[in-house]
């Protein structure tokens, strides 16, 4: 097992630490938080004894972990990642990794002069369901004729917006909004399954904070379009679909795929997939295996996806006129 330090004491960090423990890949040894109380509470809930830091320089200077998991607000990912590289720590950063292409380019340049590993935590692309869909697409790519992807979940934090407040996940100061929260899942879907689009467009629903609460994106490819709906201000129960002429691949949503069905020649064929209780288990295994086996080819593949996703997110924001403080 590798030793793990974490930044961010929220539910997603708890889930990753639990997945790391279940998969016997990473052991939590150090917690950074702005308050000692939160850090101690997190370690206690994780069922481990860990060192605590409330000073970020002290945290990164520690030699009790070799990999850091960063799940802070989006706008802070860049500075924490820079510090991690400077201190020789491997990095797992929650998606989206950075606010814009300028930040991504600076990190890419720093990584060229470093041996550390960098991973964007797009957990769903490591799941069996995602890769079963990819296998089907690869086998039927000649017939591929488009897709409709949906990922819409009402956020309880939107209630705060309606009450006149500005929570982090709906704040341009923190590089947030629907596109950079749930939309990033769907952009990963498109990049990994279909490749880089030739043209992108985004029509957002702008809420009181100035951020996008939901929206509709179109990714145009040479021979087909991918239409995407995502948002955090309403719930949707629409299935996502990928089209192959008269045949269709259908799944429950574009971010958490637990059911996949093939429709071929009017036949309904359920696809057998393995769904983990903790959806981050396969992600933790993938990152651990790459580092343990020094698999630079797989690392470069994942980094390439992250770079393409960052670029598409930037283009969608530019098309919609959404500007972050980090820009």
Q: Does residue 16 belong to any structural domain of this protein?
A: yes
- β-strands 118-121, 146-152 pairing: unpaired
Specify whether the CB–CB gap between 129 and 260 falls below 8 A: yes
Range of the domain at 10: 2-115
For the chain, the average pLDDT equals: 97
Long-range contacts of 159-165 (CB under 8 A, 24+ apart): 161/207, 161/208, 161/209, 161/213, 162/208, 164/208
Q: Looking at the structure, tell me whether residues 91 and 145 fall in a common domain.
A: no
Tell me the pLDDT tens digit for each residue of 284-301.
Answer: 999 999 999 999 999 999
Q: Does residue 325 belong to any structural domain of this protein?
A: no
Torsion of CA 273, 129, 299, 201, to 10 degrees: 170
Closest CA to 137 of 235, 262, 254: 262
Q: Does residue 92 have a pLDDT over 90?
A: yes
Q: Looking at the structure, tell me whether residues 169 and 42 fall in a common domain.
A: no
Q: Does residue 318 belong to any structural domain of this protein?
A: no
Q: Looking at the structure, tell me whether residues 147 and 258 fall in a common domain.
A: yes
Tell me the pLDDT tens digit for each residue of 66-90.
Answer: 999 999 999 999 999 999 999 999 9
- Helix or strand or coil: residue 174? helix
**What is d(CA 116, CA 191) in angstroms, rounded to the nearest whole number?**
25
Closest CA to 299 of 103, 42, 170, 114: 114
Tell me the pLDDT tens digit for each residue of 33-52.
Answer: 999 999 999 999 888 889 99
Specify whether the CB–CB gap between 48 and 28 falls below 8 A: yes
Find where tokens 């992108």 sit: 200
Residue 49, pLDDT score: 86
- Taking CA atoms, 320 is separated from 187, 199, 203, 204, 216, in Å, by 16, 13, 6, 7, 11
pLDDT band for 196, please (50, 70, 90 cuts).
very high
| Six-digit token string for 40 | 């101690």
Residue 84, pLDDT score: 98
Q: Looking at the structure, tell me whether residues 134 and 107 fall in a common domain.
A: no
Q: Looking at the structure, tell me whether residues 52 and 188 fall in a common domain.
A: no
DSSP string, 232-262: SSS---PPEEEEETTEEEEES-SSS---EEE
User: Helix 77-86 and helix 101-112: axis angle, to 10°?
Assistant: 10
Q: Does residue 284 belong to any structural domain of this protein?
A: no
> What is the tally of structural domains in the chain?
2
User: Helix 281-292 and helix 296-320: axis angle, to 10°?
Assistant: 130
Q: Looking at the structure, tell me whether residues 111 and 132 fall in a common domain.
A: no
CATH number at residue 185: 3.30.360.10
Q: Does residue 214 belong to any structural domain of this protein?
A: yes
**How large a percentage of the chain has pLDDT more than 90?**
98
CATH number at residue 90: 3.40.50.720
Tell me the pLDDT tens digit for each residue of 101-111.
Answer: 999 999 999 99
User: What is the average pLDDT across 135-161?
Assistant: 98
Q: Does residue 266 have a pLDDT over 90?
A: no
Tell me the pLDDT tens digit for each residue of 21-33.
Answer: 999 999 999 999 9
Tell me the pLDDT tens digit for each residue of 310-326.
Answer: 999 999 999 999 999 99
Tell me the pLDDT tens digit for each residue of 199-227.
Answer: 999 999 999 999 999 999 999 999 999 99
User: What is the average pLDDT across 231-236?
Assistant: 97
Closest CA to 153 of 256, 276, 283: 256
């Amino acid at each position: 097992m590798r030793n793990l330090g974490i930044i961010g004491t929220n539910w997603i960090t708890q889930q990753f630490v639990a997945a790391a423990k279940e998969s016997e890949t990473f052991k939590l040894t150090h917690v950074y938080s702005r308050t000692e109380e939160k850090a101690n509470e997190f370690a206690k809930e994780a069922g481990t004894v860990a060192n605590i830091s409330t000073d970020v320089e002290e945290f990164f200077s520690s030699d009790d972990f070799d990999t850091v998991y960063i799940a802070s607000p989006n706008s802070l990912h860049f500075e924490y990642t820079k510090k991690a590289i400077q201190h020789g720590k491997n990095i797992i950063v929650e998606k989206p990794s950075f606010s814009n292409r300028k930040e991504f380019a600076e990190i890419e340049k720093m990584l060229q002069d470093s041996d550390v590993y960098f991973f964007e935590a797009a957990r769903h692309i490591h799941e069996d369901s995602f890769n079963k869909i990819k296998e089907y697409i690869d086998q039927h790519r000649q017939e591929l004729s488009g897709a409709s992807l949906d990922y819409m979940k009402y956020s309880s934090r939107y209630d705060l917006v309606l009450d006149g407040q500005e929570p982090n996940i709906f704040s341009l100061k923190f590089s947030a909004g629907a596109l950079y929260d749930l939309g990033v899942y769907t952009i990963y879907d498109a990049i990994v399954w279909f490749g880089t689009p030739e043209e992108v467009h985004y029509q957002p629903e702008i809420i009181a904070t100035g951020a996008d609460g939901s929206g509709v994106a179109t990714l145009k490819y040479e021979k087909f379009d991918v239409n995407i709906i995502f948002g955090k201000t309403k719930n949707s129960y629409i299935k996502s679909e990928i089209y192959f002429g008269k045949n269709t691949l259908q799944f429950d949503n574009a971010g958490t795929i637990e059911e996949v069905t093939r429709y071929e020649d009017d036949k309904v064929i359920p696809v057998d997939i393995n769904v983990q209780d903790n959806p981050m288990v396969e992600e933790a295994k993938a990152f651990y295996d790459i580092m343990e086996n020094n698999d630079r080819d797989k690392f470069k593949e994942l980094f390439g996806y992250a770079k393409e996703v960052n670029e598409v997110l930037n283009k969608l924001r530019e098309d919609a006129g959404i500007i972050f403080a980090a820009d």
